Structure 1
Amino acid sequence: MTAFFLKGSCARMVGSGNVSSGGATTDALIEHRREIADLLQRIKNRRLQVFGLYGTPVALVVTLLVWAGLKVFIWLNADTPTAINGIFAAAALLLGAAAVVQAIAEFGDSSPWTDSETSVRELKLDLALAEERHILEARRRTPPAMDRQASYKERIPGEIARLRGESRHYRRLHLLMQWLLFFSSAAISAVTAWYDPPQPAKGVLIGLGFTVTVITAAAGYFKPRERSFNLQQTADSIEQHTTALELGIAPYGAANEDENLGLFAATVEGIRAEQRMREQQLDQPQQGQQQVI
């Protein structure tokens, strides 16, 4: 009896130890991802800061040169209009103030910029090192295959929602293009029947004909209807397999949960690979699609 209690307590200790280890692994990997995301955002911010720091003085010089060029080539023997002087003076003042503020923010002692006087190259190096640490940490703390497959299963609802959202986007785009095409085509006939003189019907017909041509070409090139159909079909197929896994029905009726999760992950990845292939075929010209098929 004592041995039984000791064995139970040991099992609980091992289980709690596994949970604690798993939680530490998750926290460590999340921390690495946060560091990488923070560095990516810092690189974007730093690029904007450097662009503004060096681009604003250049824009100021170009503005002054354009102002002087207008005076020399257009209003050399006359006074420059007050409106033109006001616009260029306001633009030069604004650019000059922006250049001064950015220079103070970059080289000042108490700079509000996090990475002042730091090059984008250094931040990219920090990002590369952070990604390398994340890879090494993930390799060292790689969870068992069953845990990874279970985690993959939990991410599937978000993937289904993304696919359906993109499907709705392309379906609405297709409907908008079709309605514009309908109205423009009908308006061409109506304007042609209503107006006898060439004007203003001529300009209206040119605009409507241009609209019809652009919409027809865009619909044939981007194929929003086909993209919407493929995305919706992929989402429905993945949802069907997810439901089958949760209910334990074919093809996920095996008694071993590891086998079911492995089959589910392989099946969903196959469906996603087919979806990517269909997207690539839609991006190719018609002749290229026939060759691929």
Structure 2
Amino acid sequence: MTTDVLIGHRRNIADLEERVKNRRLQVIGLYGTPVVLAGTLLVWAGLKVFIWLDSDTPGAINEIFGGVAFFLGVATFFQGVAEFERFWKDSRTPVRELRLELSLAEERHILEARRRTPPPMDRQASYKERLPGEMARLRRESRHYRRMHLVMQWILFASSAAISAVTAWYDAPQPAKGILIGLASIVTVITAAAGYFKPRERAFNLQQTADSIEQHATALELGIAPYNDAEQSRNLELFATTVEGLRADQRMREQQLDQPQQGQQQVI
């Protein structure tokens, strides 16, 4: 019963979070679309007044602005109908009210969880069962940064090779000059982005943390050192403490990577 009650609270919170997000988008569209429509019409009229006052506006300009204005007008109409005819789930409901409901639901969940808190051993056992998802997340993020690093490196290699090839192929300033400028810009941007975001280091740290957590989880599962105590409660307590230390180290490394080079040296 405790599990079902807490799951019900979590589902209610997730539903309210989704409703708040959807309602925020609805309000932005409801009030933003007419503003964009008015701005489009003003720009269209301004072009006519300041550029083509004594002549006809080009047909392509009229088609573009006319199409955009028509689309925005239709969107404004249907959004207004959906809002005032209550076709949306939370029509005429302020976002502030939904946020209040979300805060109250979170507070109820905290109070209920405090009242129904299971023993420490049960919490530690459930913590162990949540770790496969955490390890999968770490490995997924590690693959993401690894792929980012590889893409950056291949673009850097290709651009550097293309600069040499274009320099050797063309003798005249044009079009080689423009191509070289573009390739050199790509190399500069990729180098700066790789130095700033450090995807290789992030991928290594994430993979290292995931492997360490998996190693400790395997040791606990097999009952080998350091989790070979006769009492399972001590093993679970040591396991939870160790894994939380690994996660704290991972967060510290992420913070160090986000700092400038001088700040990193001071932290280290």
In structure 2, the partner of 1:64 is 41
CA, structure 1 residues 185+83, in 2 after alignment: closer, same or farther (shift >3 Å)? closer
In structure 2, the partner of 1:224 is 199
In structure 1, the partner of 2:259 is 284
Percent sequence identity over aligned pairs: 78
Distance in 1 (alpha carbons) for counterparts of 2:46 and 2:261: 51
Distance in 2 (alpha carbons) for counterparts of 1:191 and 1:91: 42
| Secondary structure of 1:53 counterpart | helix
Distance in 2 (alpha carbons) for counterparts of 1:231 and 1:195: 45
Displacement after TM superposition at 1:74 (Å): 1.6
Out of 22, 32, 35, the position equivalent to 2:9 is: 32
Displacement after TM superposition at 1:77 (Å): 1.7
Displacement after TM superposition at 1:133 (Å): 0.3
Code of the aligned partner of 2:151 = L
Task: Provide structure 2 residue ranges, at least 5 long, that are not aligned to the other structure.
Answer: none
Distance in 2 (alpha carbons) for counterparts of 1:76 and 1:232: 64
Out of 97, 101, 118, the position equivalent to 2:93 is: 118
Code of the aligned partner of 2:10 = R
Distance in 1 (alpha carbons) for counterparts of 2:52 and 2:171: 47
In structure 2, the partner of 1:186 is 161
The 5 Å alignment of 1:58-97 reads 58-97=35-74
Displacement after TM superposition at 1:89 (Å): 2.5
| Secondary structure of 1:113 counterpart | coil
| Secondary structure of 2:22 counterpart | helix
In structure 2, the partner of 1:17 is none
Distance in 1 (alpha carbons) for counterparts of 2:156 and 2:26: 44
In structure 1, the partner of 2:234 is 259
In structure 1, the partner of 2:117 is 142
Distance in 2 (alpha carbons) for counterparts of 1:247 and 1:146: 18
**2:225 pairs with 1:247:** no
**2:159 pairs with 1:209:** no
Displacement after TM superposition at 1:81 (Å): 2.4
Out of 55, 60, 74, the position equivalent to 2:32 is: 55
Distance in 2 (alpha carbons) for counterparts of 1:184 and 1:285: 27
**2:81 pairs with 1:101:** no
Q: Which structure has the larger Rg over C-alpha atoms?
A: 1
Displacement after TM superposition at 1:206 (Å): 0.9
In structure 2, the partner of 1:44 is 21
1:4-33 CA distance string (max 9 Å, x none): xxxxxxxxxxxxxxxxxxxx1011101101
Code of the aligned partner of 1:70 = L
Displacement after TM superposition at 1:86 (Å): 2.7
Code of the aligned partner of 2:170 = Y
The TM-score normalised by the length of structure 1 is: 0.89
Displacement after TM superposition at 1:253 (Å): 0.1
Displacement after TM superposition at 1:252 (Å): 0.2
CA, structure 1 residues 90+182, in 2 after alignment: closer, same or farther (shift >3 Å)? closer
Code of the aligned partner of 2:178 = G
Structure 1 vs Structure 2 CA RMSD: 1.1
CA, structure 1 residues 192+93, in 2 after alignment: closer, same or farther (shift >3 Å)? closer
Distance in 1 (alpha carbons) for counterparts of 2:125 and 2:38: 60
Code of the aligned partner of 1:38 = D
More displaced 10-residue stretch of structure 1: 66-75 or 234-243? 66-75
Out of 234, 242, 245, the position equivalent to 1:270 is: 245
Displacement after TM superposition at 1:82 (Å): 2.6
